[in-house]
Chains A and B, each alone.
Chain A
């Protein structure tokens, strides 16, 4: 599929990603700015102001005072994203998140042959690795937060942060070059995994999302629950399927199973499969699944 087709097919999603950039990334951060204005917070909002990971780290590390303190907005945002995934699928990941958008865009823009890109076709394996990270993330948060191993372990959350790398690049792009002057090793590792390994050399460009983002992992679980309850989801109709596997090739989240059903913990609701094949149908509103 050529770039023009990809652009046309994804036009609404790409427009949404641009909107997401303006909503969350400084110097714009319009969403956060509006909330700050309403609550009288004079801080300059950045992508950190809605950190995708810290509230999760706080909960499992026992830092409840952070959730209810001055960072309540960050926590409300993360819970909002997770809860909305029950009803809308992981729409934040597929339609708004600037971190996922940039790595996906880089993967699409750089034409590396597919044979040089990793894709795990076994969704159970991808899932076990994704949730292995989540368990590890939670374990580190708890061991550090409850001071059970705070000398041996340090934060995964802040030390390896793609959001902060993205925000620094965006700030530099809009004139604040000091934002990219200092690099700590964790940021260099994050950049390499987010854009090079996960972006360029993983098919779909969503390696960070698949294996390194606790918010994405929780949103996937919420979507799975929502789909079970009959809320918004994409379903595969086997009677319309000719087994060509095109859906597996286009899915950036490696979420299509061998039988072409969707592994909902991985799906970000991007609708690439729906565009690629008539066998995929959107189920809106509440309708109990037959699958």
Chain B
């Protein structure tokens, strides 16, 4: 009699862990979430930036569109997204943060969906409030949605650019996180970077 309860309990734990494992796969290829900190320079390899505030892990982001979930590839292959909830200033002076997605081909449209505790100028992609050392942009949610035209979908490399985090007052690029969208493992040694945590 008790066996069925134990079975039900264990079965659902197993399903939940499997969903966690599937989430790990999806997290590297669909709506990748990543952390951003300044000043990190050019993030050419996985790194942990330490300074004022918590240590922040960053790495170049390579998204293999072939690794996405079946449902995504079936229903919405031409849209891919990136997201961050975390922009930190680990430096020594306040920074007015401006963001820029570098090297986006003119025929790939990118929607910026921004919600933030700091006022954000959507035209220049700049936060109007300075970010103090050790601080982060409160209640942040930025989604970048890439609209990829059908004729790009067979290219081995679809997007090869990155996110520039710029000091809006001086124009200096404080952090650059390379971002690449590729098609199939042949184009990249490993899909890496980003998670929800």
List chain A positions with a Cβ less than 8 A from chain B.
41-44, 46, 48-49, 61, 63, 65, 70-71, 122, 124-125, 128-133, 135-137, 139-140, 143-145, 150-160, 178-179, 181-186, 188-189, 211
Q: List 16 A-B contacts (CB under 8 A).
A: A43-B116, A49-B139, A129-B11, A130-B12, A132-B12, A144-B197, A153-B17, A154-B23, A154-B25, A155-B195, A158-B33, A158-B196, A159-B26, A186-B69, A188-B69, A188-B72
> In the bound complex, how far is the Cα of B76 from the Cα of A122, in angstroms?
40
Q: What is the minimal beta-carbon distance from B22 to any residue of chain A, in angstroms?
A: 8
A41 partner, pick from B21, B79, B113, B138, beta carbons under 8 A: B138
> How many B residues, CB 8 Å from partner?
51
- Say yes or no: A128 contacts B20, CB within 8 Å: no
Closest Cβ neighbor of B1 among chain A residues: A124
Mask of B1-40 contacts with A, CB within 8 angstroms, 1/0: 0001110111111111101111111110011010000000
Chain B residues lying within 8 Å of A211, measured Cβ to Cβ, are: 12
Contact B139 A70 (CB under 8 A): yes
A145 to B196, CA, bound (A): 11
B195 touches A189 (CB 8 A): no
Distance (whole angstroms) from the CB of A28 to the closest CB of chain B: 15
In the complex, chain B residues whose CB is within 8 Å of the CB of A133: 12-13, 15-16
**B138 surroundings in chain A (CB, below 8 A):** 41, 43, 70
What distance in Å separates the Cβ of A81 from its nearest Cβ neighbour in chain B? Answer: 20
B105 beta carbon closer than 8 Å to chain A? no
Q: Report B's interface with A, CB cutoff 8 A.
A: 4-6, 8-17, 19-27, 30-31, 33, 54, 68-72, 75-76, 79, 81, 111, 113, 115-119, 136, 138-139, 141, 143, 145, 195-197
Closest to B144 in A: A182
Do A139 and B5 contact each other (CB < 8 Å), given the known contacts A65-B54, A155-B197, A185-B68? no
Of A124, A128, A152, A154, the contact of B26 (CB 8 Å cutoff):
A154
Given contacts A43-B117, A152-B21, A153-B23, contact A188 B11 (CB under 8 A): no
Neighbouring B residues of A181 by C-beta, 8 Å: 79, 111, 145
Q: Are B23 and A159 in contact (CB under 8 A)?
A: yes
A132 near B197: Cβ-Cβ < 8 Å: no
Give the interface centre of B26, B75, B119 by most chain A CB atoms within 10 Å.
Answer: B26
Question: Across the interface, do B141 and A48 meet the contact criterion of CB distance under 8 Å?
Answer: yes
A128 and B30 contact, CB distance less than 8 A: no
Closest 5 CB pairs of A and B: A136-B16, A185-B69, A132-B12, A154-B23, A43-B139
| Contact assessment for A182 and B76 in the assembled complex, using a CB-CB cutoff below 8 Å | yes
